[in-house]
Structure 1
Amino acid sequence: MTQEILDQRAAVVIEANKYLTLGTVDADGLPWVTPVYFTPDGHKAFYWASSPDAVHSRNLTDRPAVSIAIFDSSVRIGGASAVYFRAHAELVPDDELEQSATLFASRYPELRSYTADELRTDLRLYRARPTAHWLLVRGSDPDYGTGLDSRRPVWI
């Protein structure tokens, strides 16, 4: 499998899904995962809006290292496509909030847009910037399967 094909497949997974699963860790080292709807900026950043009081928001304030999985849970068993990331998450800085809020809203025409001012009150806009990326290659993949599922690096 060429790197270009791996990268293209990973991009398709990101574009086809509205939710990512965000994994954070609390002060006691206990993991916490939560689904959030997101807007990608290619594969270089992922944006979501959350309450700053949400468990995951509080966790990433002190421990910004996160894990992310993006996949379609509605497919038949054995038919999954997924991408995985290690990332650094943060609150979008105030001087970038206007532009980032516009990007975030652009993916969801069915939802009302949040202004930058609204994202300074009850909700905040967060972003995760991946530091490592992988694609799930199913063991049964008709072109690249080996009999066992594998995880291949993408965008290297």
Structure 2
Amino acid sequence: MGDKVLETRAAAVIAANKYMTLATVDGDGLAWATPVYFTPDGHTDFYWVSSPATKHSVNVAEHPAVSIVIFDSSVAIGHAEAVYLTADAGLVPDDELERSAAFYASRYPELKAFTPDELRGDGIFRLYRARATAHWILIRGRDPEYGTGTDSRLPIWS
């Protein structure tokens, strides 16, 4: 779409939130959604640390296509803002771990700064990245500029 107003709104939602809901699917086609802390790199790459043994990590290893929603669940009813995206997810490659691990930890001072060695080999955690393939923003039905009476989603950053 290329609408700068919507892109600015979406960027603000991404920047303001610490958790995203990551939706994966297992080998039997069963959906699984889980909240994960994330560090965004713009609106394209989203990083998180998880154990490779968790259900969502196993699912990503089998089926890298994921869906993500970023939103603030503490707002009053009728005031929601959300960004939806589809992405391809997987482990950050070893040759990118040093830079990506430092980037992941840079968002907040309370984040653990993992060394690359803690995120490979026998370590209990891995660094994952979802690379967005499409984005949408929630448009509330009562939105004064874009509303249609019912909530909808408009594509952005296409």
Aligned residue for 1:82? 82
Aligned residue for 1:26? 26
The alignment's C-alpha RMSD in Å is 1.2
Q: CA deviation at 1:49?
A: 0.1
Q: Which amino acid aligns with 1:138?
A: R
Q: Check the 8 A contact 2:2/2:157 in 1, yes or no.
A: no
1:63-113 alpha-carbon deviations (Å, 9 max, x no partner): 000000000000011110000001000100000000000110001212231
The structure 2 residue matched to 1:151, chosen from 146, 150, 153, is: 153
Q: Compute the TM-score of the two structures, normalised by the length of structure 2.
A: 0.96
Misfit runs of 4+, over 3 Å? none
Gaps of 5+ in 2: none
1:131-150 to structure 2, matched below 5 A, reads 131-150=133-152
Between stretches 144-153 and 7-16, larger displacement belongs to 144-153
- % same residue: 67
**Aligned partners of 1:20 and 1:116: how far apart in 2?**
23
Q: CA deviation at 1:119?
A: 1.3
Query: Per the alignment, do residues 2 and 91 of structure 1 end up closer, same or farther by CA in structure 2, a change over 3 Å counting?
Result: closer
Q: Check the 8 A contact 2:136/2:156 in 1, yes or no.
A: yes
Q: Which amino acid aligns with 1:136?
A: L
**Aligned partners of 1:87 and 1:14: how far apart in 2?**
15
Q: Check the 8 A contact 2:136/2:153 in 1, yes or no.
A: yes
Q: Which amino acid aligns with 2:33?
A: V
Q: CA deviation at 1:141?
A: 1.3
Q: Which amino acid aligns with 1:8?
A: T
Gaps of 5+ in 1: none
**Aligned partners of 1:97 and 1:21: how far apart in 2?**
23
**Aligned partners of 2:86 and 2:129: how far apart in 1?**
13
Q: Aligned pair count?
A: 156
1:63-78 to structure 2, matched below 5 A, reads 63-78=63-78
